[in-house]
Amino acid sequence: MPQGSLRRSRALCALLLALLIFSSGVPGSAPYRAFADVRESDRIGTERLDAVDPPILDAPDIAADYAALATEEGVILWERGGEVSVPMASMTKLMTAVVALEHCDPETPMLVTYGAATADGSSASLWEGDTTTFHDLLIGMMVPSGNDAALAIAENVAGTEFAFVDLMNEKAAELSMTSSHFSNASGIIDEENYTTPRDYLLLVRHAMQQPLLREVVGQPEAWAYFGGREEHFVSTNQLFHMMEGVTGIKTGFTDAAGYCFVGAVKRGDLELYAVIFHSSDENQRFLDAQTLLEWGFTHYRSVELIKSETPVAELALLSWIDKSVEVCAAARVEVSVFDYAGPITQELELAEWEGTVVKGDVVGSIIWSQGGEVLATCDALAVRTVPEPDFWEGVGISLKRFWGGLFGDPAHLETKILLPEIF
């Protein structure tokens, strides 16, 4: 084949290949699904991801087999296998911390037994006979994920790990973790130690409301004292080095559970939690959490619905033929909204006003809704005072209405709605 023809053939093949790749990447087209790991158990809110528009273009692409993303108020934004029971490895220690916090103050003295010091798995370097405080053991359990520290806490709080586990399951029931069960304090392999992504989010939300626990899990590194020795620990949470605003919280791994992680990030007034179970490798669990959290902050964000004193209506005053009063929003309203919950609607409800209206009178309310749920409400206030007609003005108005009625004239002005659009 001549050289020129060969070049033209190669160029044509390259063009066809580019067109094929482009066409397969059009959002909504079936081939595009191959570019993101989207599964039947994926949900945005309560909707199947493949039933939401756009279905794949904006899907979080993670490797974990089970995961969930939620706000600190408990709004679940995304989940995969959210109700499937799975082992939780060292993420069990979060419940150990929560239970212990109900029985100890930070300076409660604690003694390390031989059993605790020789616990299998990850270690906080405890020695038999070490005397320390609950605060330092909490650091040893949550920062380097020490199984020895978890067992030491359990024994000091309840006498035995078995007795402590009863407290853990009582707390799970109290938190409505109906699909969870705890069988040990550290998360060491046991098929009777399990939770679900949804259940675990209940625990995370509760835990992150505890100031001491929040402080401990929010540290990339920490120091603790055991038996007079100073120990320096670096957190197993690598998300600290990947995102801004990380507030915690915990990693976990066993062969059965795979690589697990729950991460928290706060931006402005909004904090989100990403729960990852059974990811593909040690680093991927953090990448999974980062992907979910960034996706969450993109789609769940603060929106200003209205500014303070924004004009929203001109309210007709029924005692007058030709007078109305300006109405404004009582306050600035800002809420967090989720894109996928649907458009925001607003409604202004106004009273039928007769008689005197005084500046600052509540003459109605503004209501914003999304997906059938009320997002926020705000009073609507009269901007100025307009007195009711006096006796002779009232007589004049009555006569005008009588004669005007013969010619179809309105008895009063029409109320005008001036609600601004939501952006």
318 and 296 within one domain: no
94's enclosing H/E stretch is helix 93-101
Q: Retrieve residue 333's tokens.
A: 């309203």
Q: Is there a domain that residue 277 lies in?
A: yes
Q: Quote the CA–CA distance of 178 and 98 in Å, as a whole number.
A: 17
222 and 269 within one domain: yes
Q: Is there a domain that residue 346 lies in?
A: yes
Q: Is there a domain that residue 258 lies in?
A: yes
Q: In the prediction, which pLDDT does 114 show?
A: 97
Q: In the prediction, which pLDDT does 35 show?
A: 52
351 and 291 within one domain: no
Cβ–Cβ < 8 Å for 190, 184: yes
User: Which amino acid is residue 123, in one-letter code?
Assistant: S
Q: What value, to the nearest 5°, has the Cα angle with vertex 406 and ends 404 and 410?
A: 40
Q: In the prediction, which pLDDT does 189 show?
A: 83
Which of 155, 152, 156 is closest to 141 using CA atoms?
152
Single out the residue in 270, 301, 332 at which a domain terminates: 301
With a CB cutoff of 8 Å and minimum separation 6, the contacts of 267 are 244, 245, 297
Q: How many domains does the chain have?
A: 2
Q: In the prediction, which pLDDT does 162 show?
A: 97
Q: Is there a domain that residue 295 lies in?
A: yes
Single out the residue in 281, 301, 321 at which a domain terminates: 301
Q: Is there a domain that residue 30 lies in?
A: no
14's enclosing H/E stretch is helix 3-24
Q: Retrieve residue 203's tokens.
A: 């625990």
User: Which amino acid is residue 313, in one-letter code?
Assistant: A
400 and 287 within one domain: no
Which regions of the chain are under pLDDT 50? 1-34
What length does the chain have? 423
313 and 297 within one domain: no
Measured between alpha carbons, how far is residue 327 from residues 320, 324, 359, 386 in Å? 17, 9, 10, 12
Q: Retrieve residue 304's tokens.
A: 């200003």
Which of 199, 194, 215 is closest to 101 using CA atoms?
215
Domain that holds residue 394: 307-417
- Evaluate the omega torsion of the peptide bond into residue 249 and state whether it is cis, within 30 degrees of 0: yes
What digits encode the pLDDT tens for the residues 46-97? Answer: 777 766 665 556 788 999 999 999 999 999 999 999 999 999 999 999 999 9
259 and 153 within one domain: yes
398 and 337 within one domain: yes
Q: Is there a domain that residue 47 lies in?
A: no
Q: Quote the CA–CA distance of 204 and 208 in Å, as a whole number.
A: 6
What digits encode the pLDDT tens for the residues 104-115? Answer: 999 999 999 999
Single out the residue in 301, 318, 347 at which a domain terminates: 301
pTM: 0.81
313 and 252 within one domain: no
Q: In the prediction, which pLDDT does 19 show?
A: 35
What CATH number is given to the structural domain containing 313?
Answer: 2.60.410.10
Q: In the prediction, which pLDDT does 52 show?
A: 65
206 and 160 within one domain: yes
312 and 290 within one domain: no
115 and 92 within one domain: yes
Q: In the prediction, which pLDDT does 274 show?
A: 98
